[in-house]
Amino acid sequence: MTQQRFLLHEHELPTHWYNIIADMTNPPPPYLHPATLQPLSPEDLAPIFPAELIRQEGSSERWIEIPDEVRHLLQMWRPTPLCRALRWEKALDTPARIYYKWEGASPPGSHKPNTAVAQCYYARKEGLRGFATETGAGQWGSALCFAAQFFGLECRVFMVTSSYHQKPYRRVAMETWGGSVVPSPSSMTQAGRAILARDPETSGSLGMAISEAIEYAVTHEGFKYSLGSVVNFVLLHQTVIGLEAQKQLEMAGDYPDIVIACAGGGSNAAGLMFPFLKEKLNGSRPNLRALFVESTACPSMTRGLYAYDWGDTAKTGPVAKMRTVGHGFVPAPVHAGGLRYHGMAPSICTLLEQGFAEARAYQQNGCFDVAVGFARAEGLIVAPETAHALRAAYDEALACRESGESKVILLNASGHGHFDLAAYDSYLQGALPDHDLEEDQIRRALLELPTVAG
């Protein structure tokens, strides 16, 4: 069997990021101030983000140029391969043609450095001392520590407690790249101390870690806050994935019928899908399906409410209209730590509401079932988050087997699972639990949403 890998040269790395907001007839509603619940101004964001990132967040330009220094660093591992999963297709006995974009090729092992490098570049240009950030599974924290050391920046990481203990080697990677990592909630911030006073045994959440990171950033001179998902400028930076994939599929002589990715806040999913959704938005590819996949432990897209909500537990960050299970919701400590955020990127939620995309949720054992089969066919051990995307691709491939249709399925393999072998060990030993989420847990969390007029 001939291996099919579609590779681009370094000079074919995209020169511009794609901004989907330019092609949305009805873009997401504006962010609101966390205290006043009035529309947020760029000045309100100035204490939190670097100025150029604020400009990109509010931009309606379709294409934004990638600085040469950013492109140079991205070329350490980009363009990443696009691979045809021929062995997996054969194992599934499906007529579907399955392609995956391999983002595990980056030094930190995921798609996250695509925006980390850009954010650190703009931070250095602004003369900042460093960033504070949160991380769930550790992919984002690893990426930001990796990028920060290239630009001489400090990096303080608040890592969700459950993941801090589940994934110790992510912490080691962050510290190797010069970062400082603490489990969140911590005693380092007022927000963390208040949470621990209420629940000393909490497993933590991304909402809690965001609160701590924002507080640290605004109370330490020369620091600002960095995040790896949800907001427009992050999703913008990730579109290098889809722009490369479009060129690579041209080389393969194919075009996807279904584009699939896991989504916790939405960065890797948007990065792959948005360049393709451009053609659905303009009507040239009306039948393209975009499938966002989440964990049943934190089902913001499939069971959440489309409403304004705070982005963090302590209500310090911007209020966004999104699908949410409530800023106070604490998900079960599943191994897909990157899929434990209570909300979803507003731009993705708008596309879901307008019918341009769809969402699906899975339990973790079913995802590991498929991830192990994929590893035995294709050789790659993927992160638990990516396993959710694989599960959706598996279901679509089996549907093709039943119907006889030879659809083209494209998925984003957003990161490797080399730091997640404890999760695979639990699965292989039959000790990996599934978590049934009671509707009452979501209902109680949604009672605390802000009351927004209009």
> What CATH number is given to the structural domain containing 318?
3.40.50.1100
If you average pLDDT over residues 143-161, what whole number do you get? 97
207 lies in the same domain as 321? no
- Output the pLDDT for position 436: 83
86 lies in the same domain as 118? no
- Output the pLDDT for position 338: 80
393 lies in the same domain as 427? yes
254 lies in the same domain as 364? yes
| Angle formed by the axes of helices 190-198 and 206-218, nearest 10° | 150
If you average pLDDT over residues 282-309, what whole number do you get? 97
Domain limit, last residue, from 182, 207, 232 = 232
339 lies in the same domain as 275? yes
- Output the pLDDT for position 125: 97
* 284 has a pLDDT exceeding 90: yes
263 lies in the same domain as 344? yes
Domain limit, last residue, from 232, 250, 270 = 232
Residue 32 covered by a domain: yes
Q: Which domain holds residue 61?
A: 16-66+111-232
225 lies in the same domain as 246? no
- CA gap 271, 239 in Å, rounded: 4
Residue 291 covered by a domain: yes
If you average pLDDT over residues 309-332, what whole number do you get? 92
Which parts of 365-443 are beta strand (E)? 408-413
Residue 453 covered by a domain: no
Residue 452 covered by a domain: no
% of the chain surpassing 90 pLDDT: 92
- Output the pLDDT for position 68: 98
Residue 74 covered by a domain: no
265 lies in the same domain as 343? yes
61 lies in the same domain as 196? yes
Domain limit, last residue, from 191, 216, 232 = 232
* 420 has a pLDDT exceeding 70: yes
pLDDT digits (tens, 9 = 90+) for 25-77: 999 999 999 999 999 999 999 999 999 999 999 999 999 999 999 999 999 99
pTM, two decimal places: 0.96
The model's confidence at residue 437, banded by pLDDT at 50, 70 and 90, is confident
164 lies in the same domain as 249? no
Number of structural domains in the chain: 2
Residue 451 covered by a domain: no
* 454 has a pLDDT exceeding 80: no
If you average pLDDT over residues 170-174, what whole number do you get? 95
If you average pLDDT over residues 254-268, what whole number do you get? 97
If you average pLDDT over residues 231-256, what whole number do you get? 97
* Residue 60 burial (10 A CB sphere; 0-12, 13-18, 19+): exposed
44 lies in the same domain as 173? yes
Q: Please say whether the beta carbons of 311 and 323 come within 8 A.
A: no
* 421 has a pLDDT exceeding 90: yes
Sign of CA dihedral 415, 293, 81, 233: negative
Residue 435 covered by a domain: yes
The pairs formed by 39-43 with CB atoms below 8 angstroms and a separation of 24 or more are: 40/318, 40/319
142 lies in the same domain as 290? no
